[in-house]
Structure 1
Amino acid sequence: MNLLRKYLGIIWLLAGISLAAFLFYKAITVLGSTSVHPEDYVFWLVIITIFIPIIIGFILFGYYAFKGEYSKEIDSV
């Protein structure tokens, strides 16, 4: 089970990184086109502001799952 958690941690980590890259790529391509309206800037500002903390959460969750932080047993008192 711990090995599965490590593999899924790598998947979460890579998913977060690829989502961040895709988000910025899509924003740059849309805002770099010739017919950009002011609403597009507001839309992408809101989307990036909302999704950056979610992506950081994916990356942190994947990192800690890969490092084995979720597989430690709790000491009973």
Structure 2
Amino acid sequence: MNSIKKYLGILWIILALVAGYYLIVSQAIPQFRSGNPEDLVPAIVYTFVLMPIISGGLLIFGWYSLKGEYDSEKM
């Protein structure tokens, strides 16, 4: 079971990178380039609020899983 948790840690890290890439490339950059003032606020929120929270949380969760913090024998 612990090896499955470590493999899932790799999956969480990859998911964090994909989520960060998606938020920046597919959501924020097109809104920055649109030139509309009403698109600027969501682009800033995607870039500086949501992306660090989502990607950082998934990345930390995956890192702890790889380091063995969730192993069964530690509890």
Which interval holds the TM-score relative to the shorter structure?
0.7 to 0.9
1:55 is aligned to 2:55: yes
More relative contact order, 1 or 2 (CA 8 Å, 6+ apart): 1
Question: What is the identity percentage for the equivalent residue pairs of Structure 1 and Structure 2?
Answer: 36
Query: What 5-or-longer segments of structure 1 have no aligned partner?
Result: none
Match of 1:42 in 2: 41
* TM-score, with structure 1 as normaliser: 0.79
- Cα offset, 1:30, TM superposition: 3.3
Unaligned runs of 5+ residues in structure 2 are: none
Deviation at 1:70, TM superposition (A): 1.2
More helix by share: 2
Between the aligned partners of 2:17 and 2:54, the Cα distance in structure 1 is 11
Residues of 2 paired with 1:52 and 1:45: CA distance? 12
Larger radius of gyration: 1
| TM-score, normalising length: structure 2 | 0.81
**Distance in 1 between residues matched to 2:31 and 2:40, nearest whole Å:** 9
Superposition map of 1:1-77 within 5 A: 1-26=1-26, 27-33=28-34, 36-48=35-47, 49-71=49-71, 72-74=73-75
Q: What letter is aligned with 1:31?
A: F
